[in-house]
Structure 1
Amino acid sequence: MKKYCFGIDIGGTTVKCGLFNVDGEVLDKWEIKTRTENNGENIIADIAETMNAKIAEKGLDKEEIVGAGVGVPGPADEEGNVPVAVNLHWGFVPLSKELSEKTGLAVRVGNDANVAALGEMWKGGAVGYHNVVMVTLGTGVGGGIIINGKIVTGSNGAGGEIGHIHVTDSVDKPCNCGNTGCLEQVASATGVVYLANKKLASCDTPSVLRDGEVSAKSVFDAVKAGDAVAQEIAEEFGRYLGLACANIAGVVDPQVFVIGGGVSKAGKILFDYIEKYYKKYAFPSCKDVKFALATLGNDAGIYGAAKLML
């Protein structure tokens, strides 16, 4: 009877690791440094080494282990190959094959945002649902789409790249993807700052945001304090994100949108701004979708990676 599984979440700075039982209980979690020098040539060996060390430390038999799921910051195909992962300085890497060879375990690989969505469906903010869209509002906007319990990866592994839906013609600089007017430019943490600076420059209304450094946190703290300018910024943010969610819902018809990432720490006040625009733009059959906050935080990736393997 196989009883255990590894969940591995490879980030640009650290690799988060978890040892789970098959019921989804995390038995141990730890991190190692992501060594990205020399085109990330040590990353797979380091992960294999830490997994093998954990097996020895816990006195486990490899026969007891189902395998390892791995989330990567880039696209991944069905065979577990990673065509490119810029933050790891990887070109094409046959991740599943190489890690399996070094550990003797089965390995499955997925994009990190998709895998985080799977984690939230399994043990987080979307428990009980099988049609889920996760929106991660961090430095960028990530996304993961789960339909009937399965990740939508697409033909290039780019399914769920919702941060690059076009939502506006009013942005005057290109996105990191090369296009202009992407959701990421107006709804990420940096996007909220962009909207705030633009608003502050265009009006002279008094605001606490004029007194210090502007951040997504300072904007939503000011919203909660009743600052009129901050509320206008939140309104614009909500319009763009509500519109994008409505467009996504018209295609995949989810039961729930799970909002995660650093901006989500503002809490349920976000939904006051997102949901009214969502309802304005959504197809009638999709209007009653639920919005929920992600609950697994930085552990969503290791939970989702474990579930991917299971």
Structure 2
Amino acid sequence: MNQITIGVDLGATKTKVGVVQNSVVIDEIEFPTSSQGSKEQIIGELINGIEKISNQNILGIGIGVPGLIDEEKGIIYNLWNIPSWKEVHLKSQLEDHFHKPVRITNDANVFALGEKMFGKGGPYKNLVGVTLGSGFGTGIIIDHKLYSGSYSSAGEMANLPYLDKTIEDYCSGKFFFNEHGLKGDEVAKLAEKGNLEALKIFKEFGHHLGNSLKLILNILSPEAIFLGGSISKSYVFFEESLLETINTFPFKKVRDQLVVEPSTTSNTALLGSAALILAEQYQADSSS
């Protein structure tokens, strides 16, 4: 399959655009997102970025964003940390400009789809991708297909009550800073040096994350959960406490078949964004 697609990872601080061919990102650029700019300015910068590495042979453009999306119409609502993006008809604007199909979904969905199509998730019929960074995101694959629900928000558990706050407060970068006054990468550097306090902090984090994954087991009972985001790179420091907590899940058959692993796929966000176009193309080919 020699199909070429464009993948876009649009974040609050930076935007990445990549050209994907044969399951590989063959070219990419990164530029700051003008998060305080007007929606027209940000769209213009995105178009310029795509034009720099795109050509007329692409199948389409897939985009992951951290917010609510009407996927059918390609309208983005209330994009987090970009105040001017209250309602942005991005799909129609990009399709009018590039004359190629555009598909948009939540960034956690992009991670799950990328892991399914290009990473360890291939063999699994039902899986969940969990992104652990400045926030806590969840993407769901059911029967080998992305399930995004209304406004691309299915599975978003971040705001669910947990202890005295929410799941995101204890299962993202917020935990390290709010509970211990350190950034996640600072704790990781200390843990790498064998610092006992840092190792204890990661043990606490693994326990809280294990409880959130038990909730996923109760609701979805997937075969596999893959962890992404910056914190997943420190998996070795919280793996033991995470698995110990999951082992308290009451349904032994469910927990015994579960695979929990950090993603090792490079450029998952760009690959997953491009996969929005490839998955649609695959389904169209299968039904023809």
The alignment's TM-score, normalised by the length of structure 2, stands at: 0.85
Q: 1:277 to 1:223 in 2, by over 3 A?
A: farther
Alpha-carbon contact 1:247-1:282 (below 8 Å) kept:
no
Q: 2: distance between equivalents of 1:224 and 1:278? A: 27
How many matched pairs? Answer: 274
Q: 1: distance between equivalents of 2:230 and 2:4? A: 31
Q: Whose Rg is larger?
A: 1
Deviations 1:105-146 (A, max 9, x none): 110000111112211222234343342212222122122122
**Structure 2: tracts of 5 or more residues without a match:** 279-288
1:267 is displaced (CA, Å) by: 2.9
1:242 is displaced (CA, Å) by: 1.0
Q: 1: distance between equivalents of 2:192 and 2:241? A: 11
Q: 2: distance between equivalents of 1:150 and 1:19? A: 23
Q: 1:232 to 1:39 in 2, by over 3 A?
A: same
Deviations 1:75-97 (A, max 9, x none): 11222111220322201111111
Equivalent position of 2:26 in the other structure: 27
CA RMSD of aligned residues (A): 2.3
Equivalent position of 2:218 in the other structure: 250
Q: 1:158 to 1:268 in 2, by over 3 A?
A: same
Alpha-carbon contact 1:69-1:308 (below 8 Å) kept:
yes
Q: 2: distance between equivalents of 1:108 and 1:15? A: 16
Q: 1:51 to 1:237 in 2, by over 3 A?
A: closer
Q: 1:44 to 1:246 in 2, by over 3 A?
A: same
Which residue identity is paired with 2:143? N
SS at match of 2:264: coil
Which of the residues 74, 85, 98 maps onto 2:67? 74
1:134-283 equivalences under 5 Å are 134-169=129-164, 181-196=165-180, 214-220=182-188, 221-222=190-191, 225=194, 227=196, 229-283=197-251
Alpha-carbon contact 2:205-2:238 (below 8 Å) kept:
no
1:231 is displaced (CA, Å) by: 4.8
Determine whether 1:14 maps to 2:14: yes
Which residue identity is paired with 1:84? N
1:68-107 equivalences under 5 Å are 68-79=61-72, 80-89=74-83, 90-107=85-102
Equivalent position of 2:41 in the other structure: 42
Q: 2: distance between equivalents of 1:290 and 1:282? A: 16
Equivalent position of 2:283 in the other structure: none
The alignment's TM-score, normalised by the length of structure 1, stands at: 0.80
Deviations 1:195-217 (A, max 9, x none): 336xxxxxxxxxxxxxxxx3434
Which residue identity is paired with 1:123? F
SS at match of 1:76: strand
Determine whether 1:309 maps to 2:268: no
Q: 1: distance between equivalents of 2:105 and 2:50? A: 18
1:256 is displaced (CA, Å) by: 1.3
SS at match of 1:241: helix
Which residue identity is paired with 2:65? V
Q: 1:224 to 1:145 in 2, by over 3 A?
A: farther
Which of the residues 115, 123, 131 maps onto 1:128? 123
1:157 is displaced (CA, Å) by: 2.3
| More deviation, 231-240/217-226 | 217-226
Alpha-carbon contact 1:250-1:286 (below 8 Å) kept:
no
1:39 is displaced (CA, Å) by: 2.9
Equivalent position of 2:282 in the other structure: none
Q: 2: distance between equivalents of 1:226 and 1:32? A: 36
Deviations 1:31-59 (A, max 9, x none): 2332334433222232223323433xxxx
Q: 2: distance between equivalents of 1:94 and 1:69? A: 15
The sequence identity of aligned pairs, in percent, is 31
1:226 is displaced (CA, Å) by: 6.7
